[in-house]
Amino acid sequence: MILFIFEGKDDEPRLYKTLKEIFHFELNEEEILHYYCSNIFSLCDTIKEYGVFDGSVNLINVLKEEATKHKEVKSDLDRIKYSYEVSEIFMFFDYDIHKQDEKNKLTIKQQNAKILELFNYFENESLDSERNGIKLYINYPMIESYRFFKKELPDEDFKNYTFDLMSKKSFKQIVNEESFYQNLKYLCFDMKKSGEIKNTEDEGRIEKIRQNWLILKELNIKKAHFICTNDYSIPDNKDTINQQIIFNKQIEKYVTSNHEVSVLNAFPLFWFEYIDEQKVLK
């Protein structure tokens, strides 16, 4: 089994399911989608509280326990009878750092430290086999980075788009005010109440969505490479733009120096890093 853990239950599954539908990729194993419905800092605090970091309890068991406490959490985790049935876990969360104020008691440095804890746990290849196969993907600053284009695609200015962490406006507000695209229709099919994709017979729209995904992929991969190496191109080696390197470079080049973050979406990077590799293996 392959487990996908999404921070939200709306945009993330719609993006993933459309990507899968448009490009006809099939995973080698059964997939399970789980919606955490809380942020990355809650995730870090929860798994630390349960003892996941020190090996006292399995991550999947924690997720099952937490899902029973929150009615808004939709979960198929009961389909997993034993943790060893899950070969890989992909987690998609927002960076969503906030300045310190009365509501948010943590400094930006402390918030980054929590995310780094997750990376150090999930990304360490020397850890035992139970912890391997967990991959954390981060949207900078939030999932809405998928449509932060100020003009119609291809928008090569995307390379330089950043978000001011000290802004009085939320990233969602800025996206709604400044983005050329005001919803997901340029990139996604609609969803049924059941959670299934509403495909369309409109071949023109299908092709347009397909082309937009290809452009989105290229722009985000090139930008990730630029963040990591200052080279705005498709990297020859995928490891050059792995998630922890991107995180470290975001802190070094943008967050620490200017209190900003470079806008980047995780789904094209997952596509580049994992799905393309699966096709090669087939």
Residue 67 confidence (pLDDT): 85
Residue 72 confidence (pLDDT): 62
Does 248 have pLDDT greater than 70? Answer: yes
C-alpha distance from residue 133 to each of 53, 121, 124 (Å): 15, 11, 10
Residue 85 confidence (pLDDT): 87
How many degrees, rounded to 5, is the angle at CA 108 between CA 102 and CA 110? 95
Measure the N-to-C terminal CA separation of the chain; round to a whole number of Å: 18
217: nearest Cα among 162, 272, 163: 272
* Per-residue pLDDT band at 95 (split at 50, 70, 90): very high
Does 125 have pLDDT greater than 50? Answer: no
Tokens 């290849």, residue located? 125
Residue 126 confidence (pLDDT): 38
Is the sign of the CA dihedral 55, 60, 65, 67 positive or negative? Answer: positive
Report which residue type is found at 48. K
Which backbone phi and psi does 6 adopt, to 5 degrees? -105, 140
Residue 71 confidence (pLDDT): 66
User: What is the C-alpha separation between 273 and 55, in angstroms, rounded?
Assistant: 28
Which tokens go with 265? 């979406």
Mean pLDDT of 160-187: 95
Contacts of 177 (CB under 8 A, 6+ apart): 169
**What stretch of H or E contains 250?**
helix 243-250
Residue 74 confidence (pLDDT): 60
User: What is the C-alpha separation between 219 and 264, in angstroms, rounded?
Assistant: 9
Mean pLDDT of 227-254: 96
Name which residue leads in pLDDT, 133 or 233: 233
**What stretch of H or E contains 5?**
strand 2-6
H helices, E strands: number in the chain: 10, 8
Question: What percent helix, strand, coil does the chain show, rounded to 5?
Answer: 50, 15, 40
Mean residue pLDDT across the chain: 88
| Per-residue pLDDT tens digits for 44-89 | 999 999 988 887 788 998 998 888 877 666 668 888 887 778 888 9
| Per-residue pLDDT tens digits for 127-148 | 344 445 789 999 999 999 999 9
Give the ranges where 123-202 is alpha helix by DSSP (H).
171-178
Least confident of 149-158, 165-174, 195-204, 206-215: 195-204
